[in-house]
Amino acid sequence: MRRFYPIDLPLNVLKRNQSIFCLLFSPSFLKKGLIYSVLFLSACTMPLRTGYDRKIGDYKPLPQSEVSTVAASSTKVTEEKNEETKTEIIKEKTPKPTKEKTTQVANNSSFEEFIKPWIGTRYKFGGSSRSGTDCSGYVMQIYKTKLNIALPHNAASMFKMGSAVKAADLKEGDLVFFGNVWGINHVGIYLSKNRFTHASSSQGVTITPMEMDYWNSRYKGARRFINE
């Protein structure tokens, strides 16, 4: 029977775990281990400590120059932390900017001057821009941009708002309404010299005399939204 020698144990372990030992002592593994060790040591900060003095039974005191350097460094770090804390407090206390509602100031020019860019805009049912608009969309946009008054995109709904005005008392800016036996179906803005501006289905945005037979026979009333 073969005797067992102490050298046999590591040899047997090596034979059984050959793949593990090859991995542990491979160049790539050793290189990674060395890199991680350097990074770990560089991240650690070692405190300054002098040699031990048996006479005084304690570590030797630091030289004054080193004490001053350490104190200055500590003070600097403390000040930086305090500044960061102050900055964070200021950021927390500073209110976040809120979107303010912008209100358009009423334009002081006359309605006739204000609507000039709109003249000739084509008629488009359901539209409310200079690329195409219907009668209520046109009136809605003019009142919004010139007077900052919000109106619905519907002539019949507009007729239920504001205050009633007699035909003899019409003033520039009043809304004039037209319709038939079924109700209100058209709206425009009264101008000076007995005229009104509107979006006609045949001519687009235009200016028309109130005396015109077609519109005179369909006139239903007026509403005023401007308080003087």
Q: In sequence order, what are the residues at sequence separation of 6 or more whose Cβ sits closer than 8 angstroms to the Cβ of residue 119?
A: 205, 206, 207
- List the catalytic residue out of 22, 44, 153, 198: 198
Q: Are 205 and 187 in contact (CB under 8 A)?
A: no
The verdict on whether 186 is a catalytic residue reads: yes
Q: Which residues neighbour 55 within 8 Å (Cβ) at sequence distance 6 or greater?
A: none
Selected catalytic residue, list 22, 44, 135, 153: 135
Nearest Cα to 222, choosing from 121, 179, 206?
179
Is 135 known to be catalytic? yes
Torsion angle of C-alpha atoms 197, 151, 173, 141, degrees rounded to 10: -50
Is residue 153 flagged as an active site residue?
no
Planar angle of CA 54, 56, 58, nearest 5 degrees: 75
Active site members: 135, 186, 198
